[in-house]
Amino acid sequence: MVLPISFTITSMTEALTSNTLYINLAIGMASAAGIIGPFAIMRRLALASDPISHVALPGLGVALLLKINPLVGAAFALIIGAILIWQLEKRTGLSTDVLIGVIFSVSLALGSLITPDEELIDALLGSYTSVGLIEFIIGLIASAFIIGFVLYQKHRLTLASLSPDLARTSGLDTNRLNLYFLLAFVLTMILGLRYLGVLLMGSLIIIPAAVGKNLGWSLNSMLVVGSITAVLSTGLGLLIAPRFDLEPGPAIIVVAAILFFLSFFLKRRD
Partner 1 sequence: MTKILEVENLNVAFNGVRVLEDLNFSVEDGDALTIIGPNGSGKTVLLKTLLNLIPYQGKITWKKDIKTGYLPQTLFLDQSLPLTLREFLMSKINVTKTDPNDLEETLKLVRLPEDSLNHSLGRLSGGQIQRALVAFALIGNPDVLLLDEPTASIDPPGEEQIYDTIHNLQDMKKLTVIIVSHDLSLVYRYATKVLCLNKQQICFGPPEETLTTKKLEELYGAPHKFYHHLHDGSTH
Scan residues 29-58 and list those touching partner 1 (CB under 8 A): 42
Residue nearer to partner 1 on the CB measure, 194 or 213: 213
Residue among 67, 117, 171, 245 that touches partner 1 (CB under 8 A): 171
In whole angstroms, give the CA distance from residue 145 to residue 143.
Answer: 5
Residue 222 touches partner 1, criterion: CB under 8 A? yes
Q: Choose one: 29-37, 121-129, 155-163, 238-246; the region binding partner 1 (CB under 8 A).
A: 155-163
Residue nearer to partner 1 on the CB measure, 38 or 73: 38
Residue 245 touches partner 1, criterion: CB under 8 A? no
Residue 269 touches partner 1, criterion: CB under 8 A? no
Residue 220 touches partner 1, criterion: CB under 8 A? yes
Torsion angles phi and psi, residue 126, rounded to 5 = 90, 165
Residue among 21, 79, 219, 254 that touches partner 1 (CB under 8 A): 219
Residue 154 C-beta: closest distance to partner 1, Å: 8
Count of alpha carbons within 13 angstroms of residue 24, beta-carbon side = 16
Residue 258 C-beta: closest distance to partner 1, Å: 21
Residue nearer to partner 1 on the CB measure, 24 or 168: 168
Residue 165 touches partner 1, criterion: CB under 8 A? yes
Residue 165 C-beta: closest distance to partner 1, Å: 6
Residue nearer to partner 1 on the CB measure, 95 or 163: 163
Residues that bind partner 1 (CB under 8 A): 42, 155-156, 158-159, 162-163, 165-172, 213, 216-222, 270
